[in-house]
């Protein structure tokens, strides 16, 4: 029965599809027909098409099979049949990457390329260039030059585009074809013109003067092709961006004149270019916006989409400029293309007034179910910015978000909503209760463990500080009863936070936690037991250290670290409320297990967690084609990488565990002969200065490179580790080890530096250096060691609890007048920079219009001492006055920090 059905289906849809169920091996077998004489063009053409089809389906063809088929194919050059010949060209291109010895067909293709048949010549050039490499390019250069200026447009275009493909690998050769390209731009054929301009720009793109000439020459209406115009607009835009020229530039006049071009493609390209320029005023934008406005009512969906998408971009920077289009955008809300409708609404949300918010939200909700998740995310992002813009509308927006949360949707979409609600809660205290309530409701029915744990964590942090903390406990405890182990564990932690923060709830929380001690999961049970014990102590500093602020460890290898702890049965691990990096922890634990000792393992030897590398990287590449920001999988932090690098230097083995590494600091101009960056690595008693040097002279090799540092007061240079050799453009590192002063309060200093090395001249082409060299030196900028180098940022989610935990024993207080600062924001920025501490509880943001503010900073000082700073700032006519209070677990640390600002 099944067989019958399938047969029938095949009959229906295949209907004799000659390519259905093609076997790769059968087709390859059939290529042997090519060897028969005389050649039957129809039969061979059919087989060749099958072969192309199989390759196009993505079948993996091995090099041997491909080579065999390729050689059989070359026999077909004997036939003059045009279709067959052209299919062969395609076959050659498709197989040029998989078969061996493809250059065998070079001479045949060259014959076709220069032959009489015009319809062969273009495709033959393209096929030839796909099998040519740099070494063979010389032999066809003459023909390529001729082909570029050929009268037949197809030949010229083929030669131009192939030159561009070739220039990826053989830039130098194609550069010599610039005159031919120049001539081709004057062609009457629009595609030749476009391709020639593209090649010309590519050859000259690094010569700014030449590019400027190029644009000014062709902007005077000598081009026919709309594609060439679009390209020219892009070149002009790039020039304006690079020169930072505003609307006064002649380039801008050219772009603006393109708004009146007859082709829609060019008009749109010009409008888009104007919108993307950075230094534009509302006046510059106006003509572009009015063109886009016209496009909004076009019957072509693509044009409407393009227009509304660009208007959306304008609205991000200049919402006022788009308000004129509001009416047209409103018409697009009901567009059949949901992408257009969504973009229209989100644009309106950005430009609209507070009063229109309710109406628009109602309209969106009518088709939310119809649009793709990607666009839903766009909507959520628009709502997020609305929440920030109109704080008073939070109830409408929150309700909308809550209803979106209830709807179907993927993880990314749900996550975006949750993020949006959390951001709103943090920005706007009034929205907190409603937002938490929505989130509570969401976790009642949430299939995503990650989101549930995230929300539970948030509830634990924010819930206890609301007027009625008790109402959240029910939601959280429900999770303990209903969810999987990870969520249960998070719920247990959240409950403990309520107990730690609110005394009146302490008893009930302990009761709830005691019930969890019977849980089936180890983790949940362990947590519950632990929290019950801590809470029963009823000591504020204990609950602060272990429950409210806890540890912050970078996630990497956490499991591995724990695993190794269990495996080796370490019983002596004593941990204090430190922020540690797990890679470091793992390494320290490993070290500890290798050298069994009686002393307990001390967490203070483990480096602190720093921001993971991924945080910096993802943001750097916005908008690049196809670069959908994939999260960096490498979870090792920058610091962990440095630690690894330093550990590899044997001379630096005994300095202890790395505490902090600074950001790289340039101590030469980036354009000089030798380019040097300095990274300061702080250890408990030492500092290692890592100098990353690059030799930018191609006729020199540097040997025994060191950096000579004059030690500041109390510091002592212990060792220099030279970089043995520094060839051209290969970075190398040299290290200088400095012992820190014995006096714990003197920690800052300035080090004048000189680069010392032995120079050997070398041949720039071969890199072969002379035998003899001479000593030379190069003066670098001074390196400064500041207080911030001794401090690691640590986030304390509950600052007040930590403040009490450290206690007033080592408290220092002083008042300063910061006369050079004119605003609170500026003062805060500078204080953070000087001290290198982490602002807590969002205290680095000053509410608008306030004249006084309190800044909370937290961190760990070298040696593992907690350091907390409270700075009360007041703004008056003479500047900013600051009362600085420092608490620390070590008296000298307090002193260092209190005097850092002065």
Distance (Å, rounded) from C-alpha 204 to C-alpha 199? 9
Q: Which of 4, 625, 648, 902 binds another protein (CB under 8 A)?
A: 625
Asked if 339 interacts with another protein (CB under 8 A), we say yes
Give min distance, CB of 165 to another protein, in A.
Answer: 5
**Residue partners of 43: CB distance under 8 A and separation at least 6:** 33
CA dihedral 132, 134, 138, 142 (to 10 degrees): 60
Q: What are the φ and ψ backbone dihedral angles of 785, each rounded to 5 degrees? A: -105, 125
Subset of residues 63 to 82 that bind another protein, contact rule: CB under 8 A = 82
Q: Which of 62, 224, 260, 301 binds another protein (CB under 8 A)?
A: 301
Q: How far is the CA of 75 from the CAs of 10, 39, 701, in angstroms?
A: 36, 9, 54
Asked if 255 interacts with another protein (CB under 8 A), we say no
Asked if 303 interacts with another protein (CB under 8 A), we say yes
Subset of residues 265 to 284 that bind another protein, contact rule: CB under 8 A = 265, 268-269, 272, 276
CB of 585 or CB of 652, closer to another protein: 585
CB of 109 or CB of 846, closer to another protein: 109
Choose one: 354-362, 519-527, 731-739, 838-846; the region binding another protein (CB under 8 A): 519-527
Choose one: 57-65, 135-143, 664-672, 735-743; the region binding another protein (CB under 8 A): 57-65
Choose one: 225-233, 676-684, 738-746, 802-810; the region binding another protein (CB under 8 A): 225-233
Window 546-565: contact mask with another protein (x via CB under 8 A): x---xxxxxx--x---x--x
Choose one: 201-209, 506-514, 767-775, 781-789; the region binding another protein (CB under 8 A): 201-209
Asked if 845 interacts with another protein (CB under 8 A), we say no
Give min distance, CB of 451 to another protein, in A.
Answer: 9
Binding-site residue total for another protein (CB under 8 A)?
120
- Please give the DSSP secondary-structure letter assigned to residue 769: B
Angle, CA 573 vertex, CA 567 and CA 577 arms, to 5°:
130
Asked if 15 interacts with another protein (CB under 8 A), we say yes
Distance (Å, rounded) from C-alpha 198 to C-alpha 181? 9
**Residue partners of 238: CB distance under 8 A and separation at least 6:** none
Subset of residues 411 to 470 that bind another protein, contact rule: CB under 8 A = 412, 415-416, 419, 450, 453-454, 456-457
CB of 199 or CB of 780, closer to another protein: 199
Asked if 785 interacts with another protein (CB under 8 A), we say no
Distance (Å, rounded) from C-alpha 838 to C-alpha 802? 13
Q: What burial class does residue 774 get, using C-beta atoms within 10 Å of its C-beta: 0-12 exposed, 13-18 middle, 19+ buried?
A: exposed
- DSSP string covering 127-147, please? HHHHH--HHHHHHHHHHHHHH
Q: How far is the CA of 110 from the CAs of 104, 116, 123, 127, 131, in angstroms?
A: 11, 12, 11, 10, 12
Distance (Å, rounded) from C-alpha 129 to C-alpha 2? 51
Asked if 206 interacts with another protein (CB under 8 A), we say no
Give min distance, CB of 28 to another protein, in A.
Answer: 17
Q: Which of 24, 43, 75, 86 binds another protein (CB under 8 A)?
A: 86
Give min distance, CB of 648 to another protein, in A.
Answer: 27
Window 583-622: contact mask with another protein (x via CB under 8 A): -----------------------------x-xx--xx--x
Asked if 58 interacts with another protein (CB under 8 A), we say yes
Angle, CA 271 vertex, CA 265 and CA 273 arms, to 5°:
100
Distance (Å, rounded) from C-alpha 890 to C-alpha 864? 10
Q: Which of 65, 514, 526, 781 binds another protein (CB under 8 A)?
A: 526
Q: What burial class does residue 387 get, using C-beta atoms within 10 Å of its C-beta: 0-12 exposed, 13-18 middle, 19+ buried?
A: buried
CB of 98 or CB of 818, closer to another protein: 98
CB of 298 or CB of 694, closer to another protein: 298
CB of 375 or CB of 475, closer to another protein: 375
Window 120-159: contact mask with another protein (x via CB under 8 A): --xx--x---------------------------x--xx-
Residue 747's closest CA among 710, 713, 717, 781?
Answer: 713
Q: How far is the CA of 200 from the CAs of 138, 155, 185, in angstroms?
A: 20, 17, 9
Subset of residues 630 to 659 that bind another protein, contact rule: CB under 8 A = 631, 635
Q: Which of 358, 407, 503, 523 binds another protein (CB under 8 A)?
A: 523
Distance (Å, rounded) from C-alpha 793 to C-alpha 866? 10
Q: Angle 190-204/208-218 helices, nearest 10 degrees?
A: 160
Q: What burial class does residue 75 get, using C-beta atoms within 10 Å of its C-beta: 0-12 exposed, 13-18 middle, 19+ buried?
A: middle
Choose one: 178-186, 262-270, 439-447, 817-825; the region binding another protein (CB under 8 A): 262-270
Asked if 62 interacts with another protein (CB under 8 A), we say no
Asked if 527 interacts with another protein (CB under 8 A), we say yes
**Residue partners of 883: CB distance under 8 A and separation at least 6:** 813, 814, 815, 871, 872
Give min distance, CB of 17 to another protein, in A.
Answer: 5
Q: Which of 38, 429, 467, 623 binds another protein (CB under 8 A)?
A: 623
Asked if 299 interacts with another protein (CB under 8 A), we say no
Asked if 319 interacts with another protein (CB under 8 A), we say no
Choose one: 279-287, 375-383, 384-392, 810-818; the region binding another protein (CB under 8 A): 375-383
Q: How far is the CA of 230 from the CAs of 225, 227, 291, 884, in angstroms?
A: 9, 5, 16, 59
**Does the CA dihedral 762-767-771-773 come out positive or negative?**
positive
Subset of residues 566 to 585 that bind another protein, contact rule: CB under 8 A = 573, 575
Distance (Å, rounded) from C-alpha 386 to C-alpha 384? 5
CB of 40 or CB of 645, closer to another protein: 40
Q: Which of 7, 63, 64, 83 binds another protein (CB under 8 A)?
A: 83
**CB contact at 8 A, 732 and 693:** yes
Give min distance, CB of 12 to another protein, in A.
Answer: 12
Asked if 337 interacts with another protein (CB under 8 A), we say yes
CA dihedral 341, 346, 347, 352 (to 10 degrees): 120
Distance (Å, rounded) from C-alpha 354 to C-alpha 816? 43
Helix residue ranges, H only, 259-410: 264-276, 282-296, 301-317, 319-322, 326-332, 338-351, 357-367, 373-389, 394-406
Q: How many helices and strands (H and E) does the chain possess?
A: 39, 18
Give min distance, CB of 550 to another protein, in A.
Answer: 5
Subset of residues 699 to 738 that bind another protein, contact rule: CB under 8 A = none
Distance (Å, rounded) from C-alpha 131 to C-alpha 422? 57
CB of 303 or CB of 857, closer to another protein: 303
Asked if 227 interacts with another protein (CB under 8 A), we say yes
CB of 161 or CB of 544, closer to another protein: 161
Subset of residues 793 to 822 that bind another protein, contact rule: CB under 8 A = none
């Amino acid at each position: 029965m099944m067989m019958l059905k399938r047969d029938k289906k095949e009959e229906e849809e295949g209907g004799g599809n000659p390519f259905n169920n093609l076997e790769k091996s059968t087709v390859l077998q059939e290529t042997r027909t090519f060897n028969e004489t005389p050649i039957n063009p129809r039969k061979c053409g059919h087989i060749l098409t099958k072969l192309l089809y199989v390759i196009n389906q993505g079948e993996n063809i091995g090099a041997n099979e491909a080579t065999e088929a390729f050689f059989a194919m070359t026999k077909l050059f004997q036939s003059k049949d045009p279709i067959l010949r052209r299919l062969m060209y395609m076959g050659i291109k498709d197989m040029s990457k998989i078969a061996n010895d493809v250059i065998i067909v070079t001479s045949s293709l060259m014959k076709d390329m220069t032959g009489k048949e015009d319809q062969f010549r273009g495709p033959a050039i393209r096929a030839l260039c796909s099998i040519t490499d740099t070494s063979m390019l010389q032999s066809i250069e003459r023909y390529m030059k001729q082909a570029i200026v050929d009268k037949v447009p197809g030949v010229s275009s083929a030669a131009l585009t192939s030159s561009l493909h070739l220039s990826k690998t053989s830039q130098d050769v194609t550069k010599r074809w610039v005159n031919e390209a120049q001539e081709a731009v004057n062609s009457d054929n629009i595609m030749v013109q476009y391709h020639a301009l593209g090649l010309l720009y590519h050859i000259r793109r690094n010569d700014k003067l030449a590019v400027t000439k190029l644009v000014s020459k062709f902007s005077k209406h000598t081009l026919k092709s709309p594609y060439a115009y679009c390209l020219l607009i892009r070149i002009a835009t790039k020039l304006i961006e690079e020169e930072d020229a505003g609307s006064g530039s002649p380039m801008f006049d050219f772009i603006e004149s393109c708004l009146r071009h007859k082709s829609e493609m060019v008009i749109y390209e010009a409008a888009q270019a104007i919108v993307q320029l950075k230094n534009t005023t509302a006046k510059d934008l106006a003509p572009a916006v009015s063109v886009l406005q016209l496009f909004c009512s076009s019957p072509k969906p693509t044009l409407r989409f393009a227009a509304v998408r660009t208007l959306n971009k304008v609205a991000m920077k200049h919402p006022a400029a788009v308000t004129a289009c509001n009416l047209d955008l409103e018409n697009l809300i009901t567009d059949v293309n949901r992408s257009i409708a969504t973009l229209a609404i989100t644009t309106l949300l950005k430009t609209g007034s507070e009063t229109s918010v309710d109406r628009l939200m109602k309209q969106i909700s009518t088709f939310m179910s119809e649009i793709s998740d990607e666009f839903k995310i766009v909507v959520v992002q628009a709502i997020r910015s609305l929440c920030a813009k109109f704080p008073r509308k939070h109830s409408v927006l929150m309700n909308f978000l809550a209803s979106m949360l209830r709807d179907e949707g993927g993880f990314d979409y749900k996550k975006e909503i949750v993020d949006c609600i959390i951001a709103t809660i943090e920005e706007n205290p009034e929205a907190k209760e409603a937002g938490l309530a929505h989130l509570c409701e969401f976790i009642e029915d949430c299939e995503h463990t990650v989101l549930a744990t995230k929300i539970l964590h948030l509830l634990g942090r924010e819930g206890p500080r609301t007027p009625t903390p008790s109402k959240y406990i029910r939601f959280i405890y429900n999770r303990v009863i209903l969810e999987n182990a990870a969520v249960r564990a998070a719920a247990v932690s959240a409950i403990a936070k309520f107990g730690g923060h609110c005394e009146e709830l302490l008893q009930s929380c302990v009761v709830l936690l005691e019930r969890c001690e019977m849980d089936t999961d180890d983790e949940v049970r362990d947590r519950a037991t632990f929290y019950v014990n801590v809470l029963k102590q009823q000591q504020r500093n204990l609950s602060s250290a272990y429950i409210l602020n806890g540890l912050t460890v970078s996630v990497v290898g956490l499991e591995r670290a724990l695993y190794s702890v269990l495996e080796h049965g370490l019983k002596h691990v004593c941990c204090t409320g430190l922020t540690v990096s797990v890679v470091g922890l793992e390494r320290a634990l490993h070290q500890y297990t290798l050298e069994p000792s009686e002393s307990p393992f001390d967490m203070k030897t483990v480096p602190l967690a720093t921001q993971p590398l991924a945080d910096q990287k993802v943001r750097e590449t916005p908008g690049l084609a196809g670069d959908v920001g994939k999260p960096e999988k490498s979870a090792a932090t920058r610091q962990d990488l440095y630690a690894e690098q330093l550990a590899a230097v044997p001379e630096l083995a005994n300095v202890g565990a790395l505490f902090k590494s600074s950001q790289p600091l340039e101590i030469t101009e980036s354009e000089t002969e030798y380019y040097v960056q300095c990274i300061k690595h702080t250890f408990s008693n030492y500092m290692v200065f890592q100098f990353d040097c690059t030799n930018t002279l191609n006729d020199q090799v540097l040997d025994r490179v060191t950096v000579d540092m004059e030690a500041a007061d109390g510091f002592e240079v212990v060792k220099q580790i030279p970089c043995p050799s520094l060839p051209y453009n290969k970075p190398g590192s040299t290290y200088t080890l400095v012992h820190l002063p014995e006096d714990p309060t003197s920690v800052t200093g300035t080090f004048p530096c000189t680069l010392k090395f032995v120079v050997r001249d070398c041949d720039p082409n071969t890199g072969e250096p002379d035998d003899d060299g001479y000593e030379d030196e190069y003066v670098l900028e001074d390196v400064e060691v500041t207080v911030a180098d001794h401090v690691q940022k640590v986030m304390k989610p509950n600052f007040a609890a930590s403040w009490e935990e450290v206690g007033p024993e080592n408290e220092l207080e002083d008042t300063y007048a910061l006369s050079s600062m004119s605003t609170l924001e500026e003062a805060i920025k500078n204080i953070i920079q000087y001290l290198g501490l982490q602002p807590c509880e969002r205290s680095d943001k000053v509410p608008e219009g306030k004249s006084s503010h309190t800044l909370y900073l937290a961190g760990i000082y070298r040696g593992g001492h907690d350091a907390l700073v409270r700075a009360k700032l007041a703004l008056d006519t003479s500047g900013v006055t600051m009362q600085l209070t420092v608490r620390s677990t070590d008296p000298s640390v307090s002193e260092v920090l209190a005097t850092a600002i002065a």
